[in-house]
Each structure stands twice: as C-alpha cells, then as structure tokens.
C-alpha cells in the first residue's frame, strides 16, 4: 500500500519556527508530542495547537528578559516537550540555541558558556544546577537560570535561578516569528571532539531545514508515523531527523522516559520509527542470540532457517538475489521468529534509521531478515548532519548509502571523504582558522574520514588521522579492527594500540558475564568479581580474538592484551558525548600499563 505523505516544503517554511507555524495551521488538533509525567505517573500529550500556546508563553518570557536578537540561549535539558518549546520560542525571537550535554565535564560547560557568551541557561532540575556549583561563578555572562523539573525551593540562593513555570508569561495567543531569516544562525552545536576543547558549529535555519527535506526525499515518513526519541537532542542526528523532520512530515514524537527505559517504552508506546545508534541494535542482537543459544536444537534450527530465508527474500526484493520457492515459507517463519522479536519492540516498528558509528553487517542482516529495514546513514555535525543514507529499496548493510540529493561526495587522493552540501555550516564560532582547515577555498568539507565509493554507495573505511602506523611501516585501520573484535560480544569497551610499535596491543573492558561464559566454555575457573589474569586464560582469549581477525593481513594480530576494570564513559572523559573513543585520553590514562606491556 502506498504511503500518503504531507510534507511541508522547506523553502516555503523559510525558518524552523516558520516550519512549525505551517504545521500548526495544517493540523492544530493532531497529536504532536507525548511524554511521561513523573508527578502524576501518566503519559501526557500535546497537539500542535497546544504546543503553539505553550511556546507563546516561553517566547513572551524570553523577550521580557530584554536580550538582543542573536543572543545565545543554553539548553541543558533531556529530550522533552520543554526542550522543543524553549528551542522554538528562542528561534522565533531570533535567538540562537546552544544545546549542552547534561553530563558534560565542568571544563567543557564553562568553555561553551563563555565562548558562546550565553545569556540564559535552562537546566533539567535543581540537582543538575547544584552539581554545577563549582562553576557557578565561572559563567558570568549567564544572567538567568531556569529549572525545568524537581525544583527545590531554597536549593540555591543565586538570584539568577527561577523555576520555569514561575517565569513563564501568561500570553498564549501564539508564536510570533521575527528577527529570523533562512540564512541567519539558528544554533551553535559544540562538537565533543576526541582532542582539545569543543568547537562551536554554527548552523543556519536553511542548513537544517534542507537536511530534513533531503532526508524525506530519501526515506518516506507519513503523518501516521510515531517516532520514539531517546538519543540526546544535543546531537544533530537526533535533532534534525528525530525533531525537525517529524514536524516537516507531520509525524508524532514520544519521548522515552530515560535511556534505561528505552526497551520498556518501545514496548508500551509502540513506535513505528526510531532514530538510533548501532549500540541499541548490538544490545538487542546479544539478547536474541543469548536466548537462541539456550534453546533446543529444533528452535535453533528454526531460528537459523528463518534468518537465512528472510535474508534471501530481502535480497530478492532488493533485486540483488534470485527467487526461491523457499521464500514462500517466509510469512510462516516470520510469525514464529520475526514477529516475536519485533513484538518486544512494540510490534509496529517499520523503520529504523541508524547513524553515529558503524553497525556490524551481521547485526544489520538479522534485522532486515526478520522484516525491519535498518537504514544506515553518515554525516557530520558540520553538515547538519546527513551526507548520505541507504534507501529502503537500495539498502546495503556494508555501506552508508548514496549521497543525499544535491550532495556531491568524492574521495580525495589521500583517501579522505570530501563533500559539497547545502547543509555545510557557516563556520566554527570564533574560530576562523579551524573553519579554513575543514572547509577549503572551493567549498569542499573535509570530513577526516577515509572511504570508498562502490556502486554509488559510500563505505567508511577509517579515520584519516587514526590510522596506526606500526614500527615496521604497516598501516592498521583501528576502527575496522575494533569493530570485528567487538562483534565477539565479550567486551564493553576496547581500543587497539600500536603506533610506532612492533605489534598490536588490545586494551579492553570486558563484560563480566560474557567473560565468565567464555572462561567456562574453555575450562577456566572464574571466581568472584574478577576474571583469571595472565597465563593460559589470556592466551585462549587472545587466540579467540585473533581468530576474528583472520580476514585482515597477517600483521593485524593482537600480541598483548590489557584487561581493565573501569568502564569508558563520557562522564569520565574517556568517550565523547557521541560515544567515540578519546584515544589520546585513554592512552594517557593507561600509559604505565601500556608501557609495561611493551617491555615484557
């Protein structure tokens, strides 16, 4: 059945609040957002018309502060209706929104607040504000702080602090757009970066609206779709695809309660579309394969047969495989296997858009085999963010798809992916030198990623500056090696090291249950909280790791292993807020252990 769409043209909208104005006029009574209300314990809903009234109250209060057009407004709030209301109110008044990761480091927050010269800071709750007490005096440009949830009277004597409901005005006559134009800055998004302080990416209204529009030309979304939003809106992937794009398509959005309840919220809210990162699919895949491993031989055979036939049918439907009479069994096998898996995800999911990192092909294959199209894409914060994505009818799991319409992607002589796109940022805030390094004189954005183009599809093969050059001159792409080892399902975090060294070292944080299982299967005792260290156990583990690396050249083998107890998180500075490895920070953290491993 053909899907009926109701897209708003981004050129007609002009600005982001202009887009919302058009949607409100089209569908004032339609469901726009749903979220869980903690005090009442129920899910609450807002129509587009209801959001218009709430945004009007925000806008009036913002303008009562007397900020000049272009003033920067900081948003340090989890995904919610309030995030949308503040964002839209600020943009409608010509202000610039600066999202901040809730658990970012104090140094980064101070840098962002002072670099952007924030005038107003909206934070999640009193506890969040109190956690920032050591830096209260280090953000002097902030003249107003708003608390959204769990406001504690007297928790702070800072005169800047107010509970947002006490601050809102009472004029709910509707949002009024002024001092905003398509090419005026709408946001400054500070990229977490793997080294140094974050840089502020300046994006315009046109940048992000064009990107959402191009996404809808690649993947069909309808007013009947319900998005589940759980990736932080501080990231451009979620902001463009999970926030602005649903407004453009007239879809509804439900906000997950928090990252720990995503599985429960998916089951209860029954979304049709999710925007996610590969880690979510990795976790689901691990749960499914764990259940299959414990099943009877007959159930294992049924599962394997269902996946093989489902994948074959998928390839045939894509025009990349022959027809087989076995595919007639696919509906029956789906009812036994696929329906059960997708039922735990709400039972209505028809599309998943994945980005931010590479999704192992074997995981992608499972989901497309059971009937869930997983569309992988690629982009940068600096490009609003999407540059390429697969299409439902042309979906290849080992690529990030063809370029979006109006995007030109090429591979430079160095192997670097470069692109020209209408989504290219205006530049880095207060940093012309860094801007010139990433956008050349001819307008090409230098991504820093290495890739290749085959059959019109882009494939990411590594990072230009992360290629490990061993002391023997051999070059190793760490991302690809790490992804292969990660597919074992034994490690929570891992990193390959070997720059100017004679062999590769694996630095890894194991998953205790998985490591215990590996030990038992290989005849090793595992008592208490810690795994056996050294000797034959690590030799056996290293053999298993290297068996996974058989598809790489012979020099890509692990000769030493360093198992650590500490999880790598954005909160302890070892990962970026988009969960990328901060390689130099990790190296510095374990410098003594690494040096010792190379002196044995």
**Rounded CA separation 5/252 (Å):** 13
Helix-strand-coil split of the chain, %, nearest 5 = 40, 20, 40
Residues in the chain: 600
Q: Are 587 and 581 in contact (CB under 8 A)?
A: no
pLDDT for res 116 = 98
For 270, the 3-state DSSP assignment is coil
Question: What does the block give as tokens for 330?
Answer: 């696919």
Q: Look up residue 394 and give its DSSP letter.
A: B
- Number of helical H runs and strand E runs in the chain: 22, 25
**Which residue in this structure is represented by tokens 């414990």?**
294
Helix axes 535-548, 478-486, angle to 10 degrees: 110
How many CB atoms are located within 10 Å of the residue 123 CB? 24
Q: Are 73 and 120 in contact (CB under 8 A)?
A: yes
**Which residue in this structure is represented by tokens 């995800």?**
345
Q: Identify which of 241, 170, 175 has the alpha carbon closest to the alpha carbon of residue 212.
A: 241
Instruction: Pinpoint the alpha helices (H) of 443-582.
Output: 478-486, 512-521, 535-548
**Rounded CA separation 430/189 (Å):** 13
Backbone angles phi, psi at 540, to 5 degrees: -65, -40
**Rounded CA separation 272/373 (Å):** 11
Q: Are 156 and 201 in contact (CB under 8 A)?
A: no
Q: Are 113 and 141 in contact (CB under 8 A)?
A: yes
pLDDT for res 463 = 80
Q: Please, which residues have CB within 8 angstroms of residue 339's CB and are 6 or more apart in sequence?
A: 347
How many CB atoms are located within 10 Å of the residue 140 CB? 10
Strands in 445-454's sheet, in edge-to-edge order, are 408-411, 416-420, 445-454, 457-463
Domains, the chain, with CATH or none: 16-180+219-275 (3.40.50.12780), 468-597 (3.30.300.30)
Mean pLDDT, 10 residues at a time, the chain of 600 residues: 91 98 98 96 97 98 97 98 98 98 90 98 95 96 95 78 95 94 98 77 98 98 98 95 98 95 96 92 89 94 97 97 96 95 96 88 94 96 97 96 98 95 98 96 95 95 81 82 90 92 92 87 74 76 92 88 90 84 90 87
Cis amide prior to 288 (ω within 30 degrees): no
Exposed, middle or buried: residue 237 (CB in 10 Å: 0-12, 13-18, 19+)?
A: buried
Separation in Å, CA 557 to CA 101, 514, 562: 37, 22, 14
Question: What does the block give as tokens for 22?
Answer: 């058009």
**Rounded CA separation 89/92 (Å):** 5
Instruction: Pinpoint the alpha helices (H) of 27-99.
Output: 48-64, 81-92
Question: What's the number of CA atoms in the CB half-sphere (13 Å) around residue 435?
Answer: 16
For 388, the 3-state DSSP assignment is strand
The radius of gyration of the chain's CA atoms, rounded to the nearest angstrom, is 25
pLDDT for res 94 = 98
For 209, the 3-state DSSP assignment is helix
Separation in Å, CA 340 to CA 265, 294, 295, 371, 375: 17, 16, 15, 12, 21
Separation in Å, CA 461 to CA 343, 355, 450, 499, 508: 34, 15, 6, 18, 22
Q: Please, which residues have CB within 8 angstroms of residue 426's CB and are 6 or more apart in sequence?
A: 185, 202, 203, 204, 207
Q: Are 273 and 352 in contact (CB under 8 A)?
A: yes
Taking the alpha carbons of 167, 169, 174, 176 in that order, is the dihedral positive or negative?
Answer: negative
pLDDT for res 522 = 87
For 463, the 3-state DSSP assignment is strand
Q: Are 499 and 492 in contact (CB under 8 A)?
A: no
Question: What does the block give as tokens for 559?
Answer: 């000769």
Q: Are 86 and 58 in contact (CB under 8 A)?
A: yes
Q: Are 495 and 586 in contact (CB under 8 A)?
A: yes
Instruction: Pinpoint the alpha helices (H) of 240-296.
Output: 245-249, 262-269, 278-293
**Rounded CA separation 78/102 (Å):** 7
pLDDT for res 532 = 63
386-389 vs 374-379, strand pairing mode: antiparallel
First vs last Cα of the chain: how many Å apart?
65
Q: Identify which of 189, 220, 230, 227 has the alpha carbon closest to the alpha carbon of residue 384.
A: 189
For 452, the 3-state DSSP assignment is strand
Q: Are 160 and 37 in contact (CB under 8 A)?
A: no
């Amino acid at each position: 059945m053909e899907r009926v769409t109701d897209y708003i043209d981004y050129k007609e909208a002009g600005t982001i609040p202009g887009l919302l104005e058009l949607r409100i006029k089209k569908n004032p009574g339609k469901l726009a957002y749903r979220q869980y209300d903690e005090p009442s314990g129920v899910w609450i809903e807002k129509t587009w018309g209801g959001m218009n009234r709430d945004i009007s109250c925000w806008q009036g209060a913002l303008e009562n502060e007397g900020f000049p057009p272009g003033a920067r407004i900081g948003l340090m709030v989890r995904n919610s209706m309030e995030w949308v209301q503040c964002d839209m109110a600020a943009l409608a008044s010509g202000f610039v929104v600066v999202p901040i990761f809730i658990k970012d480091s104090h140094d980064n927050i101070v840098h962002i607040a002072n670099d952007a010269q924030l005038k107003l800071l909206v934070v999640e709750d009193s506890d969040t504000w109190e956690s920032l007490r050591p830096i209260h005096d280090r953000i002097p440009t902030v003249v107003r702080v708003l608390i959204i949830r769990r406001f504690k009277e007297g928790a702070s004597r800072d005169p800047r602090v107010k509970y947002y409901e006490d601050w809102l005005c009472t004029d709910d006559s509707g949002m009024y757009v002024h001092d905003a134009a398509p090419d005026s800055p709408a946001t400054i998004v500070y990229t977490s970066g793997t080294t140094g302080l974050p840089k502020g990416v300046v994006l315009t209204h046109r940048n992000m609206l064009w990107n959402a529009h191009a996404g809808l030309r690649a993947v069909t979304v309808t007013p009947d779709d319900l998005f589940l939003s759980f990736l932080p809106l501080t990231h451009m992937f979620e902001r463009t695809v999970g926030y602005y794009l649903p407004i453009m398509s007239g879809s509804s959005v439900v906000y997950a309660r928090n990252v720990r309840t995503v599985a429960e919220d998916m089951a209860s809210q029954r979304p049709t579309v999710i925007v996610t990162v590969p880690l979510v699919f990795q976790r689901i895949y691990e749960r499914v394969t764990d259940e299959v491993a414990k099943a009877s031989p007959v159930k294992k055979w049924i599962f394997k047969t269902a996946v093989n036939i489902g994948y074959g049918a998928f390839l045939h439907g894509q025009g990349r495989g022959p027809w087989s009479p076995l595919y007639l069994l696919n509906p029956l096998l789906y009812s036994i296997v696929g329906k059960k898996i997708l039922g735990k995800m709400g039972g209505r999911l028809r599309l998943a858009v994945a980005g931010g990192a590479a999704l192992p092909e074997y995981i992608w294959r499972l989901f497309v085999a059971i009937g869930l199209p997983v569309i992988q894409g690629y982009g940068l914060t600096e490009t609003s963010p999407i540059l390429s994505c697969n299409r439902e009818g042309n979906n290849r799991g080992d690529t990030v798809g063809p370029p979006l319409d109006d995007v030109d992607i090429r591979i430079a002589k160095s192997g670097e992916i470069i692109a020209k796109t209408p989504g290219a940022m205006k530049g880095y805030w207060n940093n012309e030198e860094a801007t010139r390094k990433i956008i050349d004189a001819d307008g090409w954005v230098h991504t820093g990623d290495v890739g290749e183009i085959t059959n019109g599809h882009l494939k990411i093969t590594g990072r230009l500056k992360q290629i490990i050059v061993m002391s023997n001159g051999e070059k190793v792409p760490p991302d690809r090696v790490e992804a292969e080892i990660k597919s074992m399902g034994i490690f929570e975090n891992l990193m390959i090291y070997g720059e100017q060294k004679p062999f590769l070292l694996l630095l890894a944080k194991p998953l205790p249950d998985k490591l215990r299982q590996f030990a038992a299967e290989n005849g090793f005792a595992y008592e208490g909280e810690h795994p056996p260290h050294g000797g034959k156990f690590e030799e056996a583990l290293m053999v298993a790791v290297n068996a996974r690396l058989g598809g790489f050249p012979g020099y890509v083998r692990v000769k030493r292993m360093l198992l650590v107890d500490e999880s790598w998180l954005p909160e302890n500075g070892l990962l970026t807020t988009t969960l990328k490895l901060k390689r130099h920070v990790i190296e510095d953290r374990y410098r003594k252990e690494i040096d010792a491993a190379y002196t044995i």
